[in-house]
C-alpha cells in the first residue's frame, strides 16, 4: 500500500495579491427620449462599447500536469474511469510541450477559445513560482475562469491556509474521521453523508499523511478535521484570490484508498464546474451461482475438495454436499427485503430435478424459491452445469483437453451446448420464473478459453449462443477483465466479466472457510499450500488465522473492503458467489451487510447503489469501449459557450454527459429535461435526436 508520503515543494510560493477591482457599470436613465436617441445613434454610428465581445468557447477537456506522483495518478484514473477527456503533460519528459499562451488558448471562428476547462497540477507551483509557464497558466485561468486542482500540497499562506504550527496539525491520518463541512455539503461533496474515515488497513504502515491548516481570507473549507485546542482545520478546500480558484488538497492519497474514492466524484465536479463528458455511478450486483444444485465440501484433512479429480486420497464421490434449505431460502427473501438489495439467482434447473429424483420425488427448497420467484432476478446457468469447453481428459493432473487419433482437440458439440442453454430456459418458463433469454452464465465460465489447458474458446460456443438468443455471457474477471465479442458475426454475444468474491463455493461454515483460506494464503512452513509464495501477484499471511475467529475478524472486513472498492470505482461488473454461501452458516451475509453499511454511512440518499442486471452491465461496458475508442481516435468535439453545450461524436457512438440539475436537451422541436438524477447532478448516455448531427444542451442560468 502506498504510504502516501511525497516531498513538499522546494520553495513556498509567494502570497498572491488582492482581488482586482470590479468594473464599474453605467448608471441607468429613466428618460425615454434619451433611450430612443441612444438607440437611433447606435444604428447609425456603431460604438466600440455597443459591440459586445464574443463569449469564449471552452473545450470540455481537462489538462493534467503529471509529476508521476500518486495524487495526480489518482485523479487521472478517476477522469479515465468516468470517460472525461484529458490531456496529460509529463513533467519528467524533456520533450514535453511548453505551457504558453498558444498552447492554452487561441481564436476559432472569431471567438476566443480556451482549450481546457480545468487544470490538475501536482501542487500549486509545479512549474516554479517565477517561471514563464507558471505566469502563463495563471493568466489563462484568470482570463477564462478556469479552475485548478492542487492535487497534494502543504498548509501555507500561498494556498490560503495558516502554517500547521499556527493552530493546525500535521501527521498520519490513518483511522481519523474527517467531516464534510456545510460548504462542502452545499457544494461539490453534496452526495456524501457527512463523515469520512481514513482507512487504516495495517497498523504497522502509515497509509496517509496530511497537513491540516486553518483557513485564511479567501479560503472555504470543504473537508476538515478537529485539532488540538478546539476548532477544525482544512484538508480540502477552495482558495479564491487574484481572480483565480484553486481546490487545495493537503493530504496524500492514491487511487485505491477509500477516502479518495469517496471524494473523487466531487473533485471532478469542482474541476469541471459540474459540466463534463463522462458519467459515474456506484454499482453493486451479486450473482449467486448453482441455485438448486448442491456444492461439494472442502475436506479440512485432505486440504482439497472430494469429488474433484485432483483431490488425492478421496473416494471420488464428494460426500456431504452443501445445499440450501427451505429455511435458507426464507432467510434470503427476508434479508433482501430488510437490506433493500436484490440478488441474482443463477440457476441449474436440471440439478434441482436430479436432487428431487434422488430424494423421494420432493424438493421443498425448489418449491420455496419458485414460490418467491418474483423477489429475485434469475439468470440461466445451464441445465446440469457440465463443462462446456473441450472434452476433459482427467487421467492426468492438471487435466488436459482430450484429442482424437489425429491430434485434434475434441470439443463439446454445438448441439449439447445449445441443449443445456435451451432446456434450462424452458424449465424456468414452465415454473413461471421470469428469465431473460439474452443472459447466460455457463458452469465455471466454461466454453470460454481456460488457460493454460484451453487457450481458445470452444469453436461451437458462438453458434450455440446465437441459436438461443444469448447476447451476454459471463466471464471471470480475474482471468479476463475486458469485455470481448464471441465470434465475428454481426450481433455476436459479448462477455460480461464478473468479480469472484473470496467466499468459497465449497464451504458452509466459517471454520471451513478459514481453513481453506489458510491453505491458500499461508506459506508451506506454516502448513499452507505455498501458492502465495510462488505467485508474484499474491502475498502470504504472516501466520494462519484462528479457525474460530478468522472469518469474522479478518476475511469479512477484507472482502467487504475489496468489494466496496469496486463499488466506489465506477465499476459495473457483477460479483459472484455460490448458493452454498447462503446455506448453513450463511457466510455471504456478513460481507454484504458490511459493504452496505459502509456504503450507506458514506453516501447521502442522492447517490444510491445501482443494482444492474447482467444485460445492463454488458450494455454499459460496450458503450464505454466505443466511447474510449472515439476519444482515443480524436473523433469527439465538445465545448461550452455560455449556457450552451455542444457535443459531436461519430455516428452510432452514444455520449456520456454530466450536467447540473435544470439542464435541458434540445430536441427537433423544443427541449426536454436532460438525463437522470444522481449524486446531485444529471447524467446520461445520449445521442443526437433525429435529423440532428450533435447533442446540444442548455444549462440552467442560476
Instruction: Compute the chain's Rg from CA coordinates.
Output: 30
Residue 490, SS3 per DSSP: coil
Confidence band for 319, pLDDT divided at 50, 70 and 90: confident
Confidence band for 13, pLDDT divided at 50, 70 and 90: very low
Entry field: residues in the chain: 702
Compute the mean pLDDT over every residue in the chain, rounded to the nearest whole number. 92
Q: How much is the average pLDDT of 388-402?
A: 94
For the chain, percent of residues with pLDDT exceeding 70: 92
> Does residue 313 register a pLDDT over 90?
no
**Predicted local confidence at residue 21, as pLDDT:** 32
Confidence band for 315, pLDDT divided at 50, 70 and 90: low
**pLDDT, tens digit (0-9, with 9 covering 90-100), for 560-593:** 999 999 999 999 999 999 999 999 999 999 999 9
DSSP strands (E only) in 607-700: 637-641, 644-648, 655-660, 664-666, 671-673, 676-678, 681-686, 695-698
Rounded CA-CA distance 366/162 in Å is 66
Identify whether the C-beta of residue 15 lies closer than 8 Å to the C-beta of residue 219.
no
**pLDDT, tens digit (0-9, with 9 covering 90-100), for 251-273:** 999 999 999 999 999 999 999 99
**Predicted local confidence at residue 490, as pLDDT:** 78
pTM higher than 0.85 = yes
The three cell numbers locating residue 551: 472469518
Q: How much is the average pLDDT of 460-486?
A: 97
Q: How much is the average pLDDT of 516-526?
A: 97
> Does residue 9 register a pLDDT over 60?
no
The three cell numbers locating residue 418: 445449445
> Does residue 632 register a pLDDT over 50?
yes
> Does residue 153 register a pLDDT over 50?
yes
**Predicted local confidence at residue 50, as pLDDT:** 52
The three cell numbers locating residue 509: 461454515
The three cell numbers locating residue 84: 472525461
Rounded CA-CA distance 441/287 in Å is 10
**12-21, 82-91, 407-416, 610-619: lowest mean pLDDT where?**
12-21
Residue 260's nearest CA partner among 249, 269, 270 is 249
Q: How much is the average pLDDT of 293-313?
A: 90
Q: What contacts 21, CB < 8 A, 6 or more positions away?
A: none
**Predicted local confidence at residue 308, as pLDDT:** 85
Element (H, E) at 425: helix 414-430
Identify whether the C-beta of residue 547 lies closer than 8 Å to the C-beta of residue 511.
yes
Rounded CA-CA distance 117/365 in Å is 58
**pLDDT, tens digit (0-9, with 9 covering 90-100), for 235-246:** 999 999 999 999
**Predicted local confidence at residue 312, as pLDDT:** 77
The Cα angle at residue 489 between residues 486 and 494, in degrees rounded to 5? 30
CB atoms closer than 10 angstroms to residue 119: 23
| Residue 495 Cα distances to 321, 423, 431, 458, angstroms | 30, 21, 27, 14
DSSP-derived pairing of the beta strands 664-666 and 671-673? antiparallel
**pLDDT, tens digit (0-9, with 9 covering 90-100), for 184-227:** 999 999 999 999 999 999 989 999 999 999 999 999 999 999 99
| Residue 522 Cα distances to 264, 500, 546, angstroms | 35, 20, 12
**Predicted local confidence at residue 253, as pLDDT:** 98
Amino acid at each position: 500500500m502506498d504510504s502516501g508520503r511525497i516531498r513538499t515543494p522546494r520553495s513556498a510560493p509567494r502570497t498572491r495579491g488582492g482581488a482586482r477591482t470590479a468594473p464599474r457599470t453605467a448608471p441607468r436613465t429613466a428618460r425615454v427620449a434619451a433611450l430612443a436617441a441612444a438607440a437611433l445613434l447606435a444604428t447609425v454610428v456603431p460604438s466600440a462599447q455597443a459591440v459586445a465581445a464574443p463569449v469564449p468557447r471552452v473545450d470540455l477537456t481537462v489538462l493534467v500536469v503529471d509529476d508521476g506522483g500518486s495524487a495526480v495518478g489518482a485523479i487521472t484514473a478517476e477522469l479515465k474511469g468516468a470517460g472525461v477527456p484529458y490531456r496529460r503533460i509529463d513533467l519528467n519528459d524533456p520533450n514535453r510541450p511548453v505551457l504558453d499562451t498558444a498552447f492554452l488558448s487561441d481564436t476559432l471562428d472569431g471567438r476566443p477559445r480556451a482549450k481546457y476547462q480545468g487544470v490538475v497540477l501536482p501542487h500549486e507551483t509545479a512549474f516554479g513560482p517565477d517561471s514563464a509557464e507558471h505566469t502563463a497558466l495563471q493568466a489563462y485561468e484568470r482570463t477564462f475562469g478556469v479552475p485548478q486542482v492542487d492535487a497534494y500540497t502543504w498548509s501555507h499562506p500561498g494556498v490560503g491556509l495558516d502554517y500547521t504550527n499556527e493552530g493546525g496539525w500535521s501527521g498520519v491520518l490513518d483511522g481519523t474521521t474527517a467531516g464534510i463541512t456545510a460548504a462542502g455539503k452545499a457544494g461539490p461533496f453534496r452526495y456524501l453523508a457527512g463523515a469520512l474515515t481514513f482507512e487504516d488497513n495495517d497498523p504497522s504502515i502509515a497509509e496517509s499523511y496530511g497537513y491540516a491548516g486553518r483557513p485564511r481570507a479567501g479560503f472555504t473549507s470543504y473537508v476538515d478535521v478537529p485539532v488540538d485546542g478546539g476548532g477544525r482545520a482544512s484538508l480540502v478546500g477552495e482558495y479564491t484570490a487574484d481572480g483565480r480558484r484553486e481546490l487545495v488538497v493537503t493530504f496524500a492519497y492514491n487511487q485505491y484508498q477509500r477516502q479518495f474514492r469517496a471524494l473523487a466524484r466531487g473533485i471532478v465536479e469542482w474541476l469541471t464546474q459540474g459540466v463534463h463528458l463522462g458519467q459515474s455511478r456506484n454499482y453493486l450486483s451479486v450473482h449467486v451461482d448453482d441455485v438448486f444444485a448442491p456444492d461439494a465440501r472442502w475436506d479440512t484433512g485432505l486440504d482439497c475438495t472430494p469429488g474433484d479429480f485432483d483431490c488425492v486420497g478421496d473416494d471420488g464421490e464428494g460426500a456431504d454436499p452443501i445445499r440450501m434449505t427451505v429455511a435458507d431460502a426464507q432467510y434470503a427473501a427476508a434479508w433482501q427485503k430488510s437490506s433493500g438489495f436484490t440478488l441474482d439467482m443463477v440457476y441449474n434447473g436440471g440439478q434441482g430435478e436430479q436432487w428431487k429424483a434422488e430424494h423421494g420425488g420432493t424438493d421443498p427448497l425448489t418449491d420455496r424459491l419458485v414460490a418467491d420467484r418474483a423477489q429475485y432476478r434469475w439468470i440461466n446457468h445451464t441445465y446440469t452445469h457440465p463443462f462446456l469447453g473441450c472434452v476433459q481428459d482427467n487421467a492426468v493432473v492438471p487435466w488436459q483437453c482430450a484429442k482424437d487419433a489425429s491430434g485434434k482437440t475434441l470439443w463439446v458439440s454445438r448441439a449439447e451446448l445449445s441443449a443445456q442453454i435451451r432446456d434450462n430456459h424452458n424449465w424456468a418458463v414452465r415454473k413461471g420464473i421470469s428469465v431473460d433469454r439474452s443472459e447466460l452464465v455457463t458452469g465455471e465460465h466454461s466454453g470460454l478459453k481456460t488457460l493454460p489447458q484451453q487457450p481458445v474458446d470452444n469453436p461451437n460456443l458462438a453458434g450455440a449462443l446465437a441459436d438461443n438468443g444469448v447476447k451476454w455471457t459471463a466471464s471471470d474477471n480475474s482471468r479476463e477483465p475486458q469485455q470481448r465479442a464471441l465470434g465475428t458475426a454481426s450481433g455476436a454475444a459479448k462477455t460480461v466479466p464478473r468479480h469472484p468474491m473470496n467466499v468459497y463455493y465449497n464451504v458452509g461454515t466459517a471454520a471451513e472457510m478459514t481453513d481453506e483460506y489458510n491453505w491458500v494464503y499461508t506459506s508451506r512452513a506454516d502448513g499452507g499450500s505455498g501458492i502465495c509464495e510462488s505467485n508474484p501477484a499474491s502475498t502470504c499471511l504472516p501466520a494462519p488465522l484462528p479457525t474460530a475467529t478468522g472469518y469474522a475478524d479478518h476475511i469479512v472486513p477484507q472482502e467487504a473492503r475489496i468489494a466496496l472498492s469496486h463499488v466506489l470505482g465506477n465499476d459495473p461488473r457483477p460479483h459472484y458467489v455460490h448458493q452454498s454461501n447462503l446455506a448453513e452458516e450463511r457466510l455471504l451475509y456478513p460481507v454484504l451487510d458490511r459493504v452496505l453499511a459502509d456504503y450507506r454511512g458514506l453516501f447521502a440518499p442522492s447517490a444510491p447503489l445501482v443494482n444492474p442486471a447482467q444485460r445492463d452491465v454488458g450494455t454499459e461496458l460496450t458503450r464505454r469501449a466505443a466511447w474510449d475508442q472515439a476519444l482515443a481516435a480524436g473523433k469527439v468535439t465538445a465545448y461550452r459557450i455560455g449556457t450552451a453545450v455542444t457535443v459531436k461524436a461519430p455516428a452510432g457512438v452514444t455520449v456520456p454527459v454530466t450536467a447540473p440539475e435544470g439542464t435541458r436537451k434540445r430536441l427537433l422541436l423544443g427541449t426536454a429535461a436532460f438525463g437522470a438524477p444522481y449524486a446531485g447532478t444529471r447524467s446520461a448516455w445520449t445521442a443526437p435526436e433525429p435529423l440532428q448531427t450533435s447533442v446540444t444542451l442548455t444549462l440552467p442560468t442560476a
